[in-house]
Amino acid sequence: MSKKSDLGRRGEELACDYLKKKGYKVIERNFLKPWGELDIVARAPDGTLVFVEVKTVSGDPPLFRAEDQMTRDKLKKFRRVASLYAGANEKLFNNKKGWRLDLIAITFKGDEHSILQYENVV
């Protein structure tokens, strides 16, 4: 296993813990299909279905911000995969709240980390 995949897995664990502390219910993790992946599928406290992309970097200082990894092409693919998932799982959300795309950016500096959540990244 590579350092990059270890870092990503660690970031996703922290993101799930972070969301749970904020009252989210994690429904699914690492939904993987040949046409794309969703890191986390969760329900927000208000009932909104939330698809979460987790981006993680490390370094002191890091070479770039975690959120800078969310390129236009990655965002387009993220939106497409979430839309297909939502269409196939309509029972998971109600029409009043719908669904949204969030980004969680995690930066490790030594043993410490910071977490930023961006709601409605589209």
Residue whose structure tokens are 């009932």: 47
Residue 46 gets which letter from DSSP?
A: T
The answer to whether the beta carbons of residues 98 and 82 sit under 8 Å apart is: no
The answer to whether the beta carbons of residues 27 and 48 sit under 8 Å apart is: no
* Average pLDDT of the segment spanning 41-69: 90
Name the pTM for this structure.
0.91
- Position 95 pLDDT exceeds 50: yes
- pLDDT, tens digit, 9 for 90 and up, residues 14-28: 999 999 999 999 999
- Confidence label for 122 from pLDDT (cuts 50, 70 and 90): confident
> Which residues are registered as beta bridge partners of 52?
40, 102
Pairing assessment for the beta strands 112-118 and 99-109 based on DSSP bridges: antiparallel
Q: How far apart are CA 2 and CA 43, in angstroms?
A: 31
- Confidence label for 4 from pLDDT (cuts 50, 70 and 90): low
